[in-house]
Structures are given as C-alpha cells and as structure tokens.
Amino acid sequence: MKASVESHSKLGYWLVLAYDNYLNPEIANMDYNNIFPAKDVMDKIDTFIMPHHQVWGGVLFPYFFLLKFGINVLSDFEYIYCANGDMVLEKPEGFEELFSLLGDADVMSGGPVTDRSVNTAGFIVRTSALKAIVRHFEEHFIPFENYEKYTQEFGNAEGRFGRAISDLKLKQVVVEPPYNDQLHKPGYGTWYKILGFRHIHAEHNYAYRYKGIPPEPKYLDERFLGDEYRIIKAYWENQDIKILENWWIKE
C-alpha cells in the first residue's frame, strides 16, 4: 500500500484511501500498529474511509461498501479513478494521455474485459456512471435474498461490474489488456505502456510460488516483510539468482 499511495499521490488529484476494517472486536489485544496504514501513508492521502469490521462474506462485501461510500465522498467530481491498494504507477506523468483515451465514453478499465466481466483492479469512470453501476450492484446484492437470487448469474465484483455496464448500456472503451486478470507479469497492455500500471502483490506472489523474480524492493514495505525484504533487496543489489533459491516456495 505504501508504494501505491506514494505513486498515486504524484498525480496531484484528491486522494481517497478506502480501507477494509480488520479491527476484529473479538481480539482484545490486537495491535493497531499492525492494522492501520502507517503514518507516512496517511500523510499522503486527503480522505480516509473505513466502515465497521466485517466477519463474513468474503471480499465482495467490503469492496461494495467501500466503493459506495467512496462515491459519496467524491460525488462533486466529474470523474473518478479507482485502483486497488497494491497497484502502483511507474509513470504517473502519463495519466493525462490515458485519460484522453476515455474521451466521451463512460468507463474504461485497465482490463482485461470480456463479455461477462470487467476487471476492477483499475478503472476510470464518469461519476454519474459509477453511481448508476453501484446502484445496479446494490439492487442485485441487498438484501440478502437478492444476493442469493442473482449471485450465480452475476458472480464476483468483476462480473457484476460487467453486467451493470451492459444492462445500463454505458459506453465503454476497451484497451489492450494486461497479461491476465491478475497482472502478475508486468509489461503488457495499454495501461502498463502509458502508466506503468503494475500489481505488486500478484508479482510478488507469483515469483514466490513459481521461482520467478520478485518486484523491486522500492515497491515493498520492509515493515511488513522482515527478513524476506532483506533477501529481495540483496537479489536486486547483486542480481544473483542463487540469493532467491531459499526464498522460493519449496516443492
């Protein structure tokens, strides 16, 4: 998150951090320092949003509510750009070029986009269109009976986004997609070429599991990685693949 906030703050736009709540009230001795964003992260944002702690429902529920609350904060802006907290921009100076691709359309995702889903890792959208998308989302999501009724048909957040865009007949710009929906290999797609748009968590996880090269240490937070950070940093300083052998997952 630190690298994401740092790179996005360079855009110069109003920056809202919509943060999932991990403060489980059932854990009395929880250390807040391990739960909340660090001060150097908070110092770079303009607004912080956090709902109550969630104990069930997976990632779909907090994503919906954070998006809904975030729109209310930004409702006076004509456009909203939204990205997950582990995405970074290597070239934030390219944002205006990316924004120009949207033109008079309602929405553009970094992709991939299919007939049934729209990737939500990063997207630009007219605020009025996003309000309509979230309203469509909510109508088929709440109350729980609606969730049960439509979940097999609509699927996850990406499926619900895609269905809303289709049902609402919104104008969508589809760009060259990234490597896949996880963006675990940088270097692919329009958003990477213009923005250097990368998914650091996916890159890190893929490298660990499949004996690859982890992302650069400047995109990692030493406070949450400990000795793992030291190994990755040593690799990038020496470019010696043997340094990573003890880090990779064992078969």
How do residues 209-218 score in pLDDT, each as one tens digit? 999 999 999 9
pLDDT (average), residues 176-202: 96
How do residues 18-35 score in pLDDT, each as one tens digit? 999 888 888 888 888 778
- Mean pLDDT lowest for which of 49-63, 153-167, 170-184? 49-63
Full DSSP string of 35-86: TSPPHHHHTT-SEEE------SSTTHHHHHHHHHHHHHHTTTSSEEEEE-TT
Q: Give the pLDDT of residue 85.
A: 94
**Ramachandran area for residue 57 (φ above 0: left; ψ -120 to 50: alpha; else beta):** left
Q: Give the pLDDT of residue 58.
A: 77
Q: Give the pLDDT of residue 24.
A: 84
How do residues 80-106 score in pLDDT, each as one tens digit? 999 999 999 999 999 999 989 999 999
How do residues 112-147 score in pLDDT, each as one tens digit? 999 899 999 999 999 999 999 999 999 999 999 998
How do residues 50-81 score in pLDDT, each as one tens digit? 988 887 767 888 899 999 999 999 999 999 99
Residue 113 DSSP one-character state: B
pLDDT (average), residues 13-21: 94
Q: Give the pLDDT of residue 190.
A: 97
Cβ–Cβ < 8 Å for 195, 187: no
Q: Give the pLDDT of residue 22.
A: 84
Q: Give the pLDDT of residue 25.
A: 83
Q: Give the pLDDT of residue 57.
A: 66
**Alpha carbons 155 and 59: distance in angstroms, whole number:** 12
How do residues 194-206 score in pLDDT, each as one tens digit? 999 999 999 999 9
Say if residue 51 is preceded by a cis peptide, omega within 30 of 0. no
Q: Give the pLDDT of residue 32.
A: 81
**Alpha carbons 97 and 62: distance in angstroms, whole number:** 31
Q: How many CA atoms lie within 13 A of 250 on its CB side?
A: 1
